[in-house]
Structure 1
Amino acid sequence: MPVPRQAEKLLHILNKTTTASLSQAHQAHAHLLKTGISSVPRHTTKLLSLYANHQCFSDAESLLNSFSGPDLFAFSTLIYAYTKFNEFKRTLKLFSEMFCDGLFPDAHILPSVIKACSGLSVLEIGKQVHGFGLTCGLTLDSFVESSLIHFYVKCNELVDAHKVFDNMVERDMVSWSALAAGYARKGDVVSAKKVFEEGKKLGFEPNSVSWNGMIAGFNQSGCFVDAVLMFHEMHLCGFKSDGTSISSVLPAIGDLRDLYIGIQVHGHVIKMGFGVDKCIVSALIDMYSKCECAPEISQVFEEMDLVDLGACNALISGLSRNGLVDKALNIFKEFQGQRMELNVVSWTSMIACCSQHGKDIEALELFRSMQVAGVKPNSVTIPCVLPACGNVAALTHGKAAHCFSLRREFFDDVYVGSAMIDMYANCGQIQIARCCFDRMPVRNVVSWNAMMGGYAMHGMAKEAIQIFHQMQQSGQKPDIVSFTSLLSACSQSGLTDEGHRYFESMSRDYGIEARVEHYACIVSLLGRAGKLEEAYSIIRKMSFEPDACVWGALLSSCRVHHNLSLGEVAAKKLFELEPHNPGNYILLSNIYASKGKWNEMDKVRNIMRGKGLRKNPGCSWIEVKYKVHMLLAGDKSLPQMAQIMNKLNELSMEMKKSGYLPHTGFVLQDVEEQEKEHILCGHSEKLAVVFGILNTNAGSPLRVIKNLRICGDCHAVIKFIATFEKREIYVRDTNRFHHFKDGECSCGDYWTSDPRTSLFESLNESTLSVELVTKDFLIPEHLASNYQLIC
């Protein structure tokens, strides 16, 4: 049948499969159908290849299905294209269809199929393909053998990879390098070095791929010393390092915190002219940040010829790691001002930086700004922002993040789910936290610890113990954090015997040696129960030097039980360990004040003044109408202050009618009783509760976060307010949650005898008034309805 001239031109286009456009391919396809020559194999196969090169896979599959009898070459063309563009699922599907059509693969198709199995890490299917290759004799082909080695290495089946390598007809350098690097990535140092040395005996001369594979592999598996030694050996062998080897060894040096070697490698970078390599600059910044060399971090960045986004992200992360949050924030804003296209890594790093260093409101504002900027958060961003929500009890904002993770299908991520549990527990919603825990498809030790820690914070020791046992029944082994949460739960609820038993079983039954945090928990547990001498005895028997947490737990217990002698011992140790921590001086002065030793108290206060120590004023946070409000001592200009004080006075009158008298014993100052009552009115948690009552609907629950311990008077007052106003009130102090309802508290009044910071409260919150700082972030009010979550 004669071919029209126009069709001949289009067929000529088909021969130029790499340059023809997709529209030209469609035209050629149409004319092939119109002229009736579409059944000619050479034309249709070329058209198939053209569609595949343009990644127009649906058209390619339609064309293949239209064949009356597609041949092996047609399948091979499309399978190769699928693998080239990492369409691995399509590759295996087409491979299966080829068998259904009665066609068997050859040595050209099998490497592509094995690569697809490797890309998807489907070990069983890969083994089936391997078995088929053995049966047909295709595994004798060098390309097939090399593909199988890479497949088994990728699936971490190094024994099988080694067998394939040993049986190779012609061993090649690529397969040898891949096998050695595979052992290095697994952390099998002995096997990796053995294979590497045996390769030299086989006549293989290591090249850049071989050396870099070993260095990068050891670094990835945490064998940092071996990574550095391999880098050193490479130089001794006269092989020059390149950008990849340097970028691989610098993280290992950083994790070893070996600044001396790091400086040497930096000098080598300058000498070799690698200072313009963006990856190396980022690795240098990361190395110096791990070595806690803040000036060098900025210096390396400033010496860059052209600012790179990866280096910017490394700079932000490095400054954050070294606690330079304000500097990181300023630099981040500079990047925004320069209209740099910051990506999700940039935003997430900055959010994590703020969240980890107490700038929770800034973290939430960044999260909102990130979305306004059109950058979509990912499964790493959500666990970074959720702690900020929990820290300031921004429940509405936490729910918004929860909804976002559900819409983007992040919630099934184990770290997102664990962070969600922690956030809800910190916001007082322990039931929702448990709901999230129960719905997790997969749990790891972080998930179990988050739930256990949540119960501990809420004083629900029985539930925490139950979770601990369920954790073991599930096959998950408890770790150091698990026992910290368990001991904390026992301490919160006064379960002295149970806590002591778990402390003893750590090393005996689980092989976990007690750390300083566990000793702090057991000292607090015994101290709260009044067993101060026993607590002190445990401290003296510690196999290592107790730190400030341990002595602080003892001093706090001494304050509760007015034990002056042991209190002075603990305070003396704390003054040596933390000479500039005002909290320790305040605790000792509290003990003196409780004993009426005003002169000694004044001496401690004078020491504080002499050292220039001054504690930041206490503050409380409360979320009202999608906004987090922070009440901070220090400003008399609060617009609602008159209303708050009037309401507080009204409640005070009602309390006195009911027989309540202010607990003036919590004011550790030598002043008149009337002045003490006035002082107690200034505590920020009371002000936050009253502010919430004035600005929310009657009967709605209130959630307050306090940066200090709640004092006994505030505890009693809020219990009364919860009954009188018919409200549920949640107050989280530095130690635990207090759930006030119907005149009762979830703590069972177990903690009300510890005015650990009441002296400080008296000297700061009461005499100064309160400033209201309002922050509106994350959810604009008119959009709030879009973020509602029903649990």
Structure 2
Amino acid sequence: MPPPFIQSKPPTSLSLLLNPPLSLSSLKQTHAHLLRYSPHDPTTSWLPHLLSSSAQLPHPTYTFSLYAHLLSFSLCPPRSHPLSVYPFLLPPLLKSASLLFLPILGASLHALALRLGLFAKPNIQNSILNLYSNLLFLGCARQVFDEMHQRTPPDWNSMISAYARVQDLKNAQKLFDSMPERTAVSWTAMLSAYAKCGQLSLARDRFFDKMPNRTVVSWNAMLSGYAQKGFVNEAIELFRDMVMRREVPPNETTLATVVSACSKHGDPELAEWIIGFVDQCGVKPNCFVKTAMVDMYCKCGSLEKARELFDAMTHKNSFSWNAMISGYSRNGNLCSARELFDKMPNRTVVSWNSMIAGYAQNGLWSLAIELFKEMVERARVGPDEVTMVSVISACGHLGALDLANWVRETIGTSKIRLSLKGYNSMIHMYSKCGSMEEACRVFFDEMPERDVVSYNALIAGFAQHGHGTEALELFHVMNERGIEPDSVTYIGVLTACSHAGLVQEGCSLFQSIGEPSVDHYACMVDLLGRVGRLRDAETLIKKMPVNAHAGVYGALLNACRMHRDIEIGEKVAAELFRLEPDNPGNYVLLSNMYAAARRWEDVERVRTMMRAKGIRKTQACSWVEFRGKIHQFIAGDCSHPELKEIYKVLEELMMELRRRGYVPDKSSVLRDVEEEEKEELVGTHSEKLAIAFGLIALEAGVPIRVMKNLRVCGDCHGAIKLMSKVVGREILVRDNNRFHLFKDGHCSCKDYW
């Protein structure tokens, strides 16, 4: 029986305030009521009741503040009667210590219970058991459990759930088998444990199907198990079964789980069936269910319906906004995504991530970087690894080394611990930025562990830079360390052999592949074609056990361009026009071949084909990074603020090249015009303008790094080789195929490109 000043029921006025639904604001109002109207009245003894009520809410800090207030009002009993109050105080305090994840405080409360002789009380024992179970201190929890003389079903369930959370199925099963009385909670705990371990068949057959009384929580656990492990069809079928059986009505959690599963399915008809059921089942969707429905519509491509539902929501949380923003971004509607992002009242790191990833995934890498700068410098929102992976990807595509180094510093200053995926992204970034030295440093010095993706990333970097020997050496190291190469590994090494002209090594590697894929054949065609073995490449295509795709024929067509074999080139181009009728690159390659042979009628014929099909040549552009900004150029550019100085420097440089024997290669000009006009057309290609800007902006001796979206033409390749000797500095050019390091009049590609 409680002491006199802790009554069994609160006064009527306070009882009304403590009635459900409880909220933090109602508790604070009760607290204020006590302070204002009865600070010294015996009814203030209801503060312990208030403390107990606060433990029902997810606000453990407030519970401890009430406890401090209780002590300050001297409401604890005299020292001679310590047992009269603590049986009522310890359970809510232990629960709050668990929610705050304060094991030391929890252990102190445990010690207090022992010192006061209260440990034998069932409610105290259960609270201490729950504390250690929730903190996953399984040794302590099991000791408390074993010392209990009388165990209730909640005690058994608490211990089973703790084992389930750490996926200790053996001990969980032993306890379950020993239970004198199993409840629906016990069955559900075991079901969840097996489902989380991926043993869905056992979860279904051994527990879900054999449960004597399934609750909605049981159904939700099984549905969640299927959905979280990617068994979307099974989750939807189980939900249909639930609807037909009518054992228990679905609740909001059920609907949120099923709608989320349907999102992964991406089936618009299924989505409509789910929405129709939600309308009929009588469950009023809460914010989380509606958010899941918005996400489902977005993933099914129904953006209008998603936006209609989003706009109709009276209460939107950050998840709702993020779902709609991500939906727009995934579907390429970045204007609408940004419009919502700018209107969002409280942006979380997930909101920034959604928008940054949207830009990065849709090729707007500069905007991704700019938004990231706004995030960390103006909004002062701390990034996480998800942010950094998108930003790292953007830096890699831009080839912006200075930005890449700044991003790396930001990772350090923000104390972001990269996962294996994050480190792999870093290797890709530095490889694409032209710094294999930094890529190797990340791989060999910084990564705590490496997987096949790590090796593939570095091998691909070596391939792009033409370092065939290094790629082969890393491939052998990979095998020695017991890491099984996959299809991507072989593509990387074969590409490296091709770019380095290592024909024999590439052929040997290809022979070692058990069942080469069509992509491996494409690499071999490229390898043979680059060294002029066009007939061998053509024969290989004919003998392929699988149908050749556009990549195979594209490799051969480029080889025909390099070796000026129009006869084979025309046949290959015809196949490409059939496979990729809308790809402008194939038409341009064939046009270049005709132009080099001065077959202007054929050039015009190809151009007419392009016009008839509405195909436009992709505009070439090149860019240079300077002081954290990207300076972009197109052929004959007239938009840059330093235009006059750029053209002046370029003209002086081209004059010096001519004095040293440079003769423009005008074979890539696709028009039959005067020779002087041809020279002017090739003389202002975008990479030449970018190099001229680099000479103006960068300090003497600093390497110039140029990125280009298309393949470098023959004239620019020859001119830049001579430029590197004239200006006495390295010029690194990344085109859409590989890196070219120009130094002292030579190129690292050895004219294999």
Shorter-chain TM band: 0.7 to 0.9
Rate the CA distance shift 1:684–1:77 in 2: closer, same or farther, 3 A.
same
Q: CA deviation at 1:493?
A: 1.7
Select between 713-722 and 536-545 the one with higher mean Cα deviation: 536-545
User: Is 1:245 the counterpart of 2:254 in the alignment?
Assistant: yes
Q: CA deviation at 1:27?
A: 7.4
Q: Partners in 2 of 1:173 and 1:23 — Cα distance?
A: 36
The answer to whether the Cα contact below 8 Å between 2:328 and 2:336 also exists between their aligned partners in 1 is no
Rate the CA distance shift 1:395–1:99 in 2: closer, same or farther, 3 A.
farther
User: Is 1:449 the counterpart of 2:460 in the alignment?
Assistant: no
The residue that corresponds to 1:696 in the other structure is 698
Rate the CA distance shift 1:196–1:23 in 2: closer, same or farther, 3 A.
closer
User: Is 1:143 the counterpart of 2:154 in the alignment?
Assistant: yes
- State which of 227, 241, 245 in structure 2 corresponds to 1:219: 227
The residue that corresponds to 2:48 in the other structure is 17
Q: C-alpha deviations, 1:634-655, integer Å up to 9, x for none? A: 6535443332222222222322
User: Is 1:82 the counterpart of 2:87 in the alignment?
Assistant: no
The residue that corresponds to 1:760 in the other structure is none
Q: C-alpha deviations, 1:442-483, integer Å up to 9, x for none? A: 334433332222222222223223333444444544334333
The answer to whether the Cα contact below 8 Å between 1:313 and 1:346 also exists between their aligned partners in 2 is yes
The residue that corresponds to 1:397 in the other structure is 403
Rate the CA distance shift 1:541–1:155 in 2: closer, same or farther, 3 A.
farther
Equivalences for residues 15-54 of structure 1 within 5 A? 16-17=47-48, 19=50, 41-42=82-83, 49=89
Q: C-alpha deviations, 1:194-214, integer Å up to 9, x for none? A: 1235533xxx22111011111
Rate the CA distance shift 1:540–1:185 in 2: closer, same or farther, 3 A.
farther
The residue that corresponds to 1:312 in the other structure is 321
Q: Partners in 1 of 2:421 and 2:41 — Cα distance?
A: 55
User: Is 1:424 the counterpart of 2:424 in the alignment?
Assistant: no
The residue that corresponds to 1:383 in the other structure is 389
The residue that corresponds to 2:521 in the other structure is 519
Q: CA deviation at 1:180?
A: 1.6
Q: Partners in 1 of 2:162 and 2:595 — Cα distance?
A: 73
The answer to whether the Cα contact below 8 Å between 1:92 and 1:116 also exists between their aligned partners in 2 is no
Q: CA deviation at 1:370?
A: 2.3
Q: Partners in 1 of 2:703 and 2:260 — Cα distance?
A: 49
Q: Partners in 1 of 2:480 and 2:144 — Cα distance?
A: 44
The residue that corresponds to 2:606 in the other structure is 604
Q: Partners in 1 of 2:485 and 2:127 — Cα distance?
A: 44
The answer to whether the Cα contact below 8 Å between 2:77 and 2:84 also exists between their aligned partners in 1 is no
**Partner SS state of residue 47, structure 2:** coil
The answer to whether the Cα contact below 8 Å between 1:11 and 1:43 also exists between their aligned partners in 2 is no
Q: Partners in 2 of 1:284 and 1:245 — Cα distance?
A: 13
- Quick one: which amino acid aligns to residue 216 of structure 1? S
The residue that corresponds to 2:29 in the other structure is none
Q: C-alpha deviations, 1:277-303, integer Å up to 9, x for none? A: 332333233333333444444444345
Q: Partners in 1 of 2:42 and 2:507 — Cα distance?
A: 85
Rate the CA distance shift 1:46–1:475 in 2: closer, same or farther, 3 A.
farther
Q: CA deviation at 1:140?
A: 5.3
The residue that corresponds to 1:361 in the other structure is 366
- Quick one: which amino acid aligns to residue 187 of structure 1? G
- State which of 334, 339, 362 in structure 2 corresponds to 1:333: 339
Q: C-alpha deviations, 1:669-715, integer Å up to 9, x for none? A: 44444333222211111110111111222112221110111123222
The residue that corresponds to 2:242 in the other structure is 234
Q: CA deviation at 1:18?
A: 5.4
- Quick one: which amino acid aligns to residue 456 of structure 1? A
Q: CA deviation at 1:583?
A: 1.3
**Partner SS state of residue 551, structure 1:** helix
Q: Partners in 2 of 1:547 and 1:288 — Cα distance?
A: 34
- Quick one: which amino acid aligns to residue 230 of structure 2? G
The answer to whether the Cα contact below 8 Å between 2:325 and 2:340 also exists between their aligned partners in 1 is no
- State which of 440, 447, 462 in structure 2 corresponds to 1:440: 447
- State which of 260, 264, 275 in structure 2 corresponds to 1:266: 275
The answer to whether the Cα contact below 8 Å between 2:334 and 2:359 also exists between their aligned partners in 1 is no
The answer to whether the Cα contact below 8 Å between 2:521 and 2:552 also exists between their aligned partners in 1 is yes
- State which of 350, 358, 362 in structure 1 corresponds to 2:355: 350
- State which of 144, 156, 166 in structure 2 corresponds to 1:155: 166
- Quick one: which amino acid aligns to residue 741 of structure 1? K
- Quick one: which amino acid aligns to residue 496 of structure 2? A
The residue that corresponds to 2:683 in the other structure is 681
**Partner SS state of residue 210, structure 2:** helix
- State which of 556, 562, 569 in structure 2 corresponds to 1:567: 569
- Quick one: which amino acid aligns to residue 421 of structure 2? Y
- Counting aligned pairs with the same residue, the percent is 37
The residue that corresponds to 1:729 in the other structure is 731
Q: CA deviation at 1:309?
A: 3.3
- Quick one: which amino acid aligns to residue 87 of structure 1? L
The answer to whether the Cα contact below 8 Å between 2:588 and 2:617 also exists between their aligned partners in 1 is no
The answer to whether the Cα contact below 8 Å between 2:553 and 2:575 also exists between their aligned partners in 1 is yes
Q: C-alpha deviations, 1:127-165, integer Å up to 9, x for none? A: x44764686466955333212321222122334322321
The residue that corresponds to 2:9 in the other structure is none
- State which of 216, 228, 239 in structure 2 corresponds to 1:208: 216
The answer to whether the Cα contact below 8 Å between 1:251 and 1:287 also exists between their aligned partners in 2 is yes
Q: Partners in 2 of 1:686 and 1:153 — Cα distance?
A: 64
Larger relative contact order (CA 8 Å, sep ≥ 6)? 1
Q: CA deviation at 1:563?
A: 2.6
The answer to whether the Cα contact below 8 Å between 2:592 and 2:668 also exists between their aligned partners in 1 is no
Q: Partners in 2 of 1:98 and 1:449 — Cα distance?
A: 58
- Quick one: which amino acid aligns to residue 310 of structure 1? F
Q: CA deviation at 1:544?
A: 4.3
- Quick one: which amino acid aligns to residue 390 of structure 2? C
Instruction: Give the TM-score taking structure 1 as reference length.
Output: 0.80
Q: C-alpha deviations, 1:469-518, integer Å up to 9, x for none? A: 44444454433433332332222222233334434444x3xxxx544443
The answer to whether the Cα contact below 8 Å between 1:484 and 1:517 also exists between their aligned partners in 2 is yes
The answer to whether the Cα contact below 8 Å between 2:420 and 2:449 also exists between their aligned partners in 1 is yes
The residue that corresponds to 2:19 in the other structure is none
- State which of 176, 179, 190 in structure 2 corresponds to 1:168: 179
The residue that corresponds to 1:652 in the other structure is 654
Equivalences for residues 769-780 of structure 1 within 5 A? none
- State which of 288, 298, 309 in structure 1 corresponds to 2:297: 288
**Partner SS state of residue 622, structure 1:** strand
Q: Partners in 2 of 1:456 and 1:120 — Cα distance?
A: 49
Q: C-alpha deviations, 1:341-361, integer Å up to 9, x for none? A: 222212111111110111111
Rate the CA distance shift 1:180–1:538 in 2: closer, same or farther, 3 A.
farther
Q: CA deviation at 1:404?
A: 1.6
User: Is 1:636 the counterpart of 2:645 in the alignment?
Assistant: no
- State which of 370, 377, 398 in structure 1 corresponds to 2:375: 370
Q: C-alpha deviations, 1:5-61, integer Å up to 9, x for none? A: xxx96998677235478788667757979x9977974489599x5xxxxxxxxxxxx
Q: Which runs of 5+ in 1 are unaligned?
A: 1-7, 50-73, 752-791
Aligned-residue CA RMSD (Å): 3.6
Instruction: Give the TM-score taking structure 2 as reference length.
Output: 0.84
- Quick one: which amino acid aligns to residue 165 of structure 1? F
**Partner SS state of residue 380, structure 1:** helix
**Partner SS state of residue 385, structure 2:** coil
- Quick one: which amino acid aligns to residue 546 of structure 1? A
The answer to whether the Cα contact below 8 Å between 1:393 and 1:426 also exists between their aligned partners in 2 is yes
Rate the CA distance shift 1:300–1:685 in 2: closer, same or farther, 3 A.
same
Rate the CA distance shift 1:659–1:564 in 2: closer, same or farther, 3 A.
closer
Q: Partners in 2 of 1:116 and 1:477 — Cα distance?
A: 45
The answer to whether the Cα contact below 8 Å between 1:455 and 1:489 also exists between their aligned partners in 2 is yes
- State which of 164, 176, 200 in structure 2 corresponds to 1:189: 200
Q: Partners in 1 of 2:441 and 2:113 — Cα distance?
A: 48
